[in-house]
Structure 1
Amino acid sequence: MIAAMKVTKEQSAANRKALVDAAARLYRERGIAGVGLAEISREAGFTHGGFYGRFASKEELAAEACGEAFGVSMARLEAQLTRHDGDLTALLKRYFSAAHRDAPGAGCPMATLGVDAAREGGLLGQAMSDGIAGYLRAMASHRPDGTVLEQPTADDEARAIRTLTTMIGGVILARACAEAAPAMSDRILRTSLATTLASLSGASAAG
């Protein structure tokens, strides 16, 4: 009996995760308002009723999906910072790539759900704020010269903000004009990458 209950709980957790994963991808592809609960349930392999009983509201699902997307994204960032002693070059090249631009459903949640979070507020706004804070903390704590800080300075925090805002803004603009003006979209990616790398190189030299 105990074993059966354990399996049931594990399956329930797996079903919930399937819904969160589906929502994380679809919301990043089309926005919160562009996806219904029935479509998310179908994508996860359930009927529409599969949503109910697992989440109190669509808002709760959106916030959890945002947090899930940030978890994947943060793991990549932290692995890059640790493996390359604070050097973000490889990560930035992937971030400012056509592949990332053209696959929002598997990409950065800040560049896809930031506007939704600003409009929705509430749980989604909190999940977005927590994710952004985590990104900034990780970037500020790892200087480009390889120094790891327990307490970043105001300059370190400013460096992190400059880097992150260029990343998000560059990808949003590149996506906005990718279909109508692909050459301009490519130039935005290339220029954003070069600008960010130059800024970090200057910060490393100053450090």
Structure 2
Amino acid sequence: MVRYAKEHKHETRRRIIATAGRRLKRNGIDGSGVATLMKDAGLTNGTFYAYFASKDELVATAVADQMRAQHENIVAQTAPGRAGLEQMIRWYFSTEQRDSVEDGCPNAALLDEIARSPDPTRQAYTDGALVLVDGFAARLAPHDPPSARLRSLSLLGMLAGTLQLSRALTDRQLADDLLEQGIRNALALLDADEHN
């Protein structure tokens, strides 16, 4: 029997996590079975347990990975201060972001299912959400980020909820108008914070 190098096993695990994250956002947690998740990674169902003890472990790991990636690719890449928040808001409420579920935000794609998931998945989400929120807070109140944490959490809720609703609407014009209103609402929240 040939033993794979540790790097190969690590790379295979990363591939499973990445493809699972995309599938979970597209089909949901309940709509994504182990066989489908492994097929997406180009592996057999039988190899799953060499990498994860259960589907719940994979889901928690994939959620953590998706939240980390969102922070690294979006929040950490934007400008400091209000300009960075505005940049994030405009990206988040873009039609491209809305229409690209599997490549988009894990919050808007999975939030309702995460709320019904086991504690490890909910904790993975919570940890990731707090990293995002702290990134927002550092831009809202650079000299006192803890003071802006709850407002930043509200901003995250506004972003995710508006995007979820926009994705659910069958009327494309109404969905587009909702994204535009979402931008105005989020910017008004930022402006209100500046005047407090």
Scaled by the length of structure 1, the TM-score of the pair is 0.86
Q: Deviations over 1:15-34 (max 9, x none)?
A: 00000001000001110111
Task: Quote the offset at 1:150 in angstroms.
Answer: 5.6
**Contact between 2:82 and 2:190, CA under 8 Å: does it hold in 1?**
no
Q: Where do 5+ consecutive residues of structure 2 fail to align?
A: none
> For residues 117 and 81 of structure 2, what CA distance do their matches in structure 1 show?
37
> For residues 189 and 117 of structure 2, what CA distance do their matches in structure 1 show?
33
> For residues 144 and 49 of structure 2, what CA distance do their matches in structure 1 show?
43
Task: Quote the offset at 1:201 in angstroms.
Answer: 2.4
Structure 2 residue corresponding to 1:48, chosen from 45, 70, 73: 45
Equivalent residue letter for 2:182? S
Partner of 1:101: 98
> For residues 101 and 49 of structure 2, what CA distance do their matches in structure 1 show?
27
CA separation of 1:182/1:151 partners in 2, compared to 1, >3 Å: closer, same or farther? closer
Once the two structures are superposed, the pairs formed by residues 40-119 of structure 1 within 5 Å of their partners are: 40-75=37-72, 76-80=74-78, 83-87=79-83, 88-119=85-116
> For residues 130 and 94 of structure 1, what CA distance do their matches in structure 2 show?
23
Partner of 1:160: 152
CA separation of 1:157/1:15 partners in 2, compared to 1, >3 Å: closer, same or farther? same
**Contact between 2:80 and 2:139, CA under 8 Å: does it hold in 1?**
no
1:32 is paired with a residue of what secondary structure? coil
Partner of 1:133: 130
> For residues 138 and 108 of structure 1, what CA distance do their matches in structure 2 show?
16
Q: Deviations over 1:37-63 (max 9, x none)?
A: 111111111111221211010000000
Q: Where do 5+ consecutive residues of structure 1 fail to align?
A: none
Equivalent residue letter for 1:203? D
**Contact between 1:19 and 1:41, CA under 8 Å: does it hold in 2?**
yes
**Contact between 2:20 and 2:37, CA under 8 Å: does it hold in 1?**
yes
Equivalent residue letter for 2:162? G
> For residues 54 and 186 of structure 1, what CA distance do their matches in structure 2 show?
41
Partner of 1:149: 143
Structure 2 residue corresponding to 1:198, chosen from 161, 170, 188: 188
Task: Quote the offset at 1:123 in angstroms.
Answer: 1.4
1:111 is paired with a residue of what secondary structure? helix
Scaled by the length of structure 2, the TM-score of the pair is 0.91
1:120 is paired with a residue of what secondary structure? coil
Superposition CA RMSD, Å: 1.8
Structure 2 residue corresponding to 1:30, chosen from 27, 30, 45: 27
CA separation of 1:149/1:51 partners in 2, compared to 1, >3 Å: closer, same or farther? farther
Equivalent residue letter for 1:79? Q
> For residues 149 and 198 of structure 1, what CA distance do their matches in structure 2 show?
21
